[in-house]
A and B are shown apart, each in its own frame.
Chain A
């Protein structure tokens, strides 16, 4: 479809040689409108508009004393409220955790105290009533000690009498704020509920300065500062790694798709793109953190984003069996969640002061921590998931609908290779006994209808010879109702209100395995995988579901569950099984992720969000290969393909050998199009496009991404190769090249792969 036309060779003087892929045959009649509002919508990234130098707000240092300094930064502190200001020595920009001249603004005293104080806590007083107290509310007792790179402060709150230690340190280009668990003291019956730390750090008023808040929604989302825009009705509020299902389970309207989780504990503030930015990273306490963003107009006139830490969650304890009656008491957790808080605030400037810079900064942070390692091996650029079998409920017993027997896989691989598609891997799903939703957590034996043990081994061997990696789908969280191995409730994780954690998929209920049970199951299955020569695994749920379990005698806090999840993954990883492919893993599982499957390619479409950005993708590119959700379900084929190239994501297909409608009576009834025959041509088409583009930047990372025009994006990689992606219906022209409507162009760098 795309034909290579080399535009000009006279540009050899420059190191960049533009190649343009123009669409040749435009045979499809499309009644698509020319002037659409889509590209100005929040599903796309908007153009940078303000270039003027921003005015430094809240930069007054009166009342503050300098307490530490390094080559890059100066740290100032106010000894009464412990609010801080940080001066970036390279450009003199001052970041403040508070507001200057607060009397100017329409803030009541509670808000003023909240803004000014380093810490604001919610607590239960002696009578069990919920109260709020900031450091300045009742002039907390503060014992400030100067340290080499910052300060330590012991705080005793005036009324709550709760004691805490706050320490602020300067390191290189960041400020590290921590509140250690060991130093929290609760007096008598008083109980701490939650804490806010420097909530207004980097806050700005309405649209006084240009810029945006960054929130980790989906692939990443920006909330631009504006005065008369969409009004936010309630804050963006995302629990890091998703709501703890051990505490509460939110019920949504059945026709609403769930919003994305925050899979990384970061947030950011930009004051003038390419001028100043502040990136917040939650290092410790992430399991109990929430990221809150407020847009001006909601409660105050300020835009601010912060992290919020919960020591005691509230939960609903039902008092009647009939759940519909909704009779329940609101209770607080008895025991305090034990965790240290540690926050990094990174100061970025100039070309790094935007979401790309933040992503790069977070990337370097993860590299330093050893979570991300530079990719060296060659991995395929296309994912094909085959559904083996699925359960069909019957009158007396359930049967299995066979969709793709395992021995057919090499056949499909051969067919694809014969048409030039040879760079892919296969995930084989629903191979376990009784099919996909059949018998989890029990996986073995291999479903008879799909093949015998020797057939499995032969297929693995055959595909290995062809160099097509074969992954087997597995899961150590979901436990389907009625599965024989669930006998007795103790293997199931329970909520704090003693109900079992439960979820449903197409009307089929499943429980959540107790995290410890998952470990023992993984250990047991390990041998079986070896027996069947299953060398590679694609693990669902374990990387993205983080829940505490409150079973009697063996509880598992979220911290512990996280360790268990990683343990499960490391068990599956060790020995014969290589690194695993994970579905939407949270950041803590990235160290064990070889392939990131189903990466979010958008945000949750909140009305107040102004842009969607590929933050996750920029962090991962060059370190972990990531694959988009299935192309089967796209409704804008061309546009989504362009988005793959924009985001550096590889395509995925969900396939079956048999016709999809056989699944209509099964739990997989949502799979309404999957037949290999109907998708073959599209696989070839998308593979070609990816081979022409993303292959040139294999194992490279993204260095910049800019919006040239509404709906036109330029992404540049570390080998100087860049892509111009034109989402719009109008050709895009620059001085040197033209990118056709709904097409992309490649500009090769000098040290590209080819």
Chain B
């Protein structure tokens, strides 16, 4: 279920991305800055990083990768001039290294003692230089059998940890990041990506013979494209071309510490760790993403254009670095320059708040978040932080509101628990005494009533009411719980239910569905209603039901099913009795429970749905008078025909569109030309 939710989110994001078009006269910068809104959509925000200039030098031709050390020296791997270019913090050229040795330096990192490590993809070697430019060591392909003989060693990017271990990304190194110790010994592979198997691939593997598979394109995981290591030895990698897990934050054991739901890009090429535990990802389509330590997106900014020479607009972004002041340096391989970005006052405020927030000093961070919210009232993370702060101060109502604004279920649940707890504490006595009183009265009334039948008249009326045809038809549904098979016999042979009663239940079903969508507690709400138009929900809902009923009827007529269309129509909705009866109580339940008790909600929901499906199965069996085997066959065929129908309708829709398009263009052309 959760998985679908994320897919769903992705879809929504895609839709919203298509919908967004430029129209902004506010910003002075050439590019736009976005953040995630509380709805999980990108919204514009104030400039987070201001393009303040560029680093350019006649020597620098094609910067591929850059590294910034603790003294804010900037090391650039330049494949154009085939050397490493070093600038000081003011952008003045200090020296160049590696002329004549390097063939195509594409990766650079600086380790302890200011040793430079350079990945050269053509020479298939990692070089180590002293800060003076003296060649200290060369690391070639490890000869360890663990490395694999057939494995290529073409180092692209690398990073070095505090102990001098090298983490090397190689071209086509599918087994993961190559880990070498400071003597160049192979330690193992690290943090490999998983091979993604598409539906088509699975199908192909299923159909094809083993040899055929071997001949075909090997399905191997993609190698990462960017790497960085923070001071605690945590490895960050990004992978270009991956849909999920494109950004990873790996602990020593090589497991990813980021949640799957990280808002990421498919074309990430480089990653760098910032000063507050935050990290930045650069994508080849010209965006810079900034995340906090847990993978929440803070900002996305930048733009890529082929013919524009403006500050902060990339042509071919290739590498990213950050200095100790939080300034970003982004290499542009095509323009041969490095763009410099400075954090704005807004971003500094946010970072300040974030720093306290990460340390758990929520209350202290509140001031900064308040200012951030003044500047952008939809800033999701700020609402979460405010919620935490209120929570810490035991202002649960406020924190509940903030979490709700931020769409944060965990936080909301916590606050709700506290509020509920307080309420229970306050009112338990009263409620308990009320219940005891009620029970007492009930028994009292029953006791008195046993002697003299006071309620005789009411009972009579009720019985008469029960005997009204429609009412009895409707009440039949309760029989299903006790005697499902008998009930379907009643429906089929004795005609104890009618079109009218079934239709009423269909409508009831829809209304209850809407109620469950709308009134399910915030924690469990799927928010379908807010995201999609009512019209779409109505058409999908009734479309699916109609499709099932019609297809089931058609399939069973050719399968010797006995049921008439009317039987199927009535039977289907009566089968959903558990849902019809329990949906409202479950919805109400969802409003008073927290995540801790979420199993109650999921369990009852599953029970409700499972029960309905079971009865549906019985219904098909009974109505059509099938054996169990025939019933299963019938259901599978029904589902299959449903899918085929949808596909056919879709194809027809596309064809029709094409025809309309064609006719339209003919008319247009005639009008223009004549």
User: Which residues of A are interface residues toward B (Cβ below 8 A)?
Assistant: 29-33, 35-38, 40-43, 228, 230, 232-234, 252-259, 320-322, 395, 498, 504-507, 584, 598, 601-602, 604-608, 629-630, 632-639, 659-661, 664, 669-670, 672-673, 675, 678-679, 682
Contacts and interface: CB of A to CB of B under 8 A. Distances in A.
Given A257-B31, A257-B32, A504-B23, A395 B46 contact: no
What are the 9 tightest A-B residue pairs by CB atom distance, in nearest-first order? A321-B665, A505-B23, A635-B344, A635-B46, A605-B311, A255-B303, A602-B28, A633-B26, A635-B346
B437 interface: no
Contacts of A254: 20-22
B308 interface: yes
A257 B20 contact: no
Interface string B106-147: 000000000000000000000000000000000000000000
Contact of A498 (B50, B90, B672): B672
B32 A256 contact: yes
Contact of B24 (A29, A37, A234, A670): A670
B309 A234 contact: yes
Contacts of B374: 673, 678-679, 682
20 contacts: A33-B342, A38-B50, A40-B53, A43-B28, A228-B58, A230-B56, A234-B309, A254-B22, A255-B31, A255-B287, A255-B302, A256-B30, A257-B24, A395-B533, A395-B534, A605-B30, A605-B311, A629-B25, A637-B345, A672-B44
A504 B340 CA distance: 32
Contact of B39 (A38, A41, A321, A664): A664
Contacts of B340: 37
B275 to A, nearest CB: 9
A639 B89 CA distance: 23
Given A259-B310, A633-B46, A679-B374, A601 B28 contact: yes
Contact of A252 (B56, B58, B305): B305
Nearest to B43: A672
Given A32-B348, A670-B24, A257 B309 contact: no
B32 A29 contact: no
B19 A635 contact: no
Contact of B52 (A41, A232, A256, A259): A41
B310 A604 contact: yes
A633 B27 contact: yes
A660 B377 contact: yes
B191 interface: no
Given A505-B21, A673-B374, A678-B377, A38 B342 contact: yes
Interface in B288-346: 302-305, 307-313, 325-327, 337, 340, 342, 344-346
Interface string B180-201: 0000000000000000000000
A629 B32 contact: no
B45 interface: yes
Given A256-B313, A635-B346, A672-B45, A605 B377 contact: no
Contacts of A258: 22
B345 A638 contact: yes
Nearest to A321: B665
A667 B669 CA distance: 33
B46 A37 contact: no
A252 B28 CA distance: 16
B377 A604 contact: no
Contact of A32 (B89, B305, B345, B664): B345
Nearest to B33: A635
B540 to A, nearest CB: 14
A228 B57 CA distance: 8
Contact of B27 (A253, A257, A259): A257
Interface string B361-380: 00000000000011111100
Nearest to B38: A661
B347 interface: yes
B535 A669 contact: no
A31 B304 CA distance: 30
B311 A607 contact: yes
Given A30-B348, A40-B53, 18 more contacts: A29-B352, A38-B342, A254-B21, A255-B287, A257-B27, A257-B29, A395-B533, A395-B535, A505-B23, A605-B28, A605-B29, A630-B26, A635-B345, A660-B378, A661-B377, A664-B39, A672-B37, A673-B375
B304 A253 contact: yes
A234 B45 contact: no
B48 interface: yes
Most buried by B among A31, A507, A679: A31
A670 B43 contact: yes
Contact of A664 (B19, B90, B378): B378
A708 B600 CA distance: 72
Contacts of A38: 50, 52-53, 342
Contact of A233 (B48, B58, B309, B348): B309
Contacts of B661: 321
A506 B313 contact: no
A37 B310 contact: no
B93 to A, nearest CB: 12
A40 B309 CA distance: 19
A31 B303 contact: no
Nearest to A33: B325
B664 A321 contact: yes
Nearest to A600: B28
A660 B58 CA distance: 49
B91 interface: yes
Contact of A256 (B22, B287, B534): B22
Contacts of A43: 28, 52
Contacts of A253: 286, 303-305
B307 A234 contact: yes
B376 A673 contact: yes
A88 to B, nearest CB: 35
Interface string B604-627: 000000000000000000000000
B294 to A, nearest CB: 22
Contacts of A604: 30, 310
B47 interface: yes
B48 to A, nearest CB: 7
B545 interface: no
A681 to B, nearest CB: 9
Contact of B20 (A230, A506, A608): A506
B53 A672 contact: no
A37 B21 contact: no
A44 to B, nearest CB: 10
Contact of A507 (B20, B25, B533): B20
Nearest to A319: B669
B54 interface: yes
B308 A256 contact: yes
Contact of A635 (B48, B58, B305, B311): B48
Contacts of B303: 253, 255-256
Interface string B643-674: 00000000000000000010011001100100
Nearest to A229: B56
Contacts of B672: 498
B249 interface: no
B477 interface: no
Nearest to A679: B374
A318 to B, nearest CB: 10
Contacts of A31: 325-326, 348, 351-352
A26 to B, nearest CB: 14
Contacts of A629: 25-26
B343 to A, nearest CB: 9
A271 to B, nearest CB: 25
B51 interface: yes
A616 B241 CA distance: 47
A45 to B, nearest CB: 15
A662 to B, nearest CB: 10
A664 B50 contact: no
B342 A36 contact: yes
A673 B377 contact: yes
B326 to A, nearest CB: 8
Nearest to A318: B672
